[in-house]
Amino acid sequence: MKLICLTLSLALAMTPVRADEFGRFVGRLILSDEQLDECFASDEDGFFSIFRLVEEFHFIDPNQIDWSVPSGTCVNGASIPAAFWSVMGGPWSGKYRRASVIHDHYVRTRVRTWQDTHRAFYYGMRAGDVSATQAKLMYYAVRRFGKRWDLKTRSLPECGSDNTDCGVARVAKPDWILVPEVPNGDISELVVGMDFDAMSLEEIDRIADEQLSTDILDPSR
């Protein structure tokens, strides 16, 4: 059994451990590689889970919005483009691990906008002591090549195929917006001349969206 435990509170599991301009994490991050069959059985999007969250975990962003991840949540780091893993040492590297778990969960569930989800990843990295330059590079990675989705809700049929669960309104997950992968897995040409240390997040948003503007294929509604 592999158990990764990042203890964020020595007194109480729900005691905030870091509070500054970027937000703070609350709780203990404990990841297990056991009981993953439950993850595969409930996986409808083709994610390959490698860890399961043992305890509930939270990130409170600078706007005091709680990004909570329930215990039992399955994660794999795939919400971060693999071509950029070499930059960060992989999504399970110490300083990135907590932000990666938050990002994985909200990309997978799609209950908040992709813009807010990627921005929370940046704040989580900074709250985890990742340098501004590295955090902005990884923010660019998810803004440019990370997953996007249309948050417009669509009601599913109120009755199942066997006429069960009638009268219970259900909402489907938002549709994905297709985003091209990193060309040949090479990121060097994409970031030439980009001074991440000096760039604002809004500038990164603009550049990433301009690069992507002619490549996005909107799924048919």
Considering only residues 120 and 36, tell me which one the structure prediction assigns the higher pLDDT: 120
Lowest-confidence segment of 16-20, 36-40, 47-51, 137-141 by average pLDDT? 16-20
Mean pLDDT of the region 182-197: 78
Q: How far is CA 192 from the centre of its chain?
A: 25
Confidence of residue 175 (pLDDT cuts 50, 70, 90): confident
pLDDT value for 192 = 81
Domains of the chain: which residue ranges?
3-212
- Give, in order, the Cα–Cα distances in Å from 204 to each of 120, 135, 138, 144: 15, 12, 11, 9
Is this model's pTM higher than 0.95 or not? no
What CA–CA distance (Å, rounded) separates 149 from 172?
12
Q: Is the pLDDT of residue 220 over 90?
A: no
Percent of the chain at pLDDT exceeding 70: 71
* pLDDT of 90 strictly over 90: no
Can you tell me the distance from the alpha carbon of 117 to that of 104, in angstroms, rounded to the nearest whole number?
9
The helix (run of H) or strand (run of E) holding residue 160 is none
Chain-centroid distance, C-alpha 188? 23
Average pLDDT, the chain: 78
* pLDDT surpasses 90 at 69: yes
Coil, helix or strand at residue 150: strand
Residues 6+ apart with CB under 8 A from 57: 25, 26, 27, 28, 29, 68, 69, 98, 101, 102
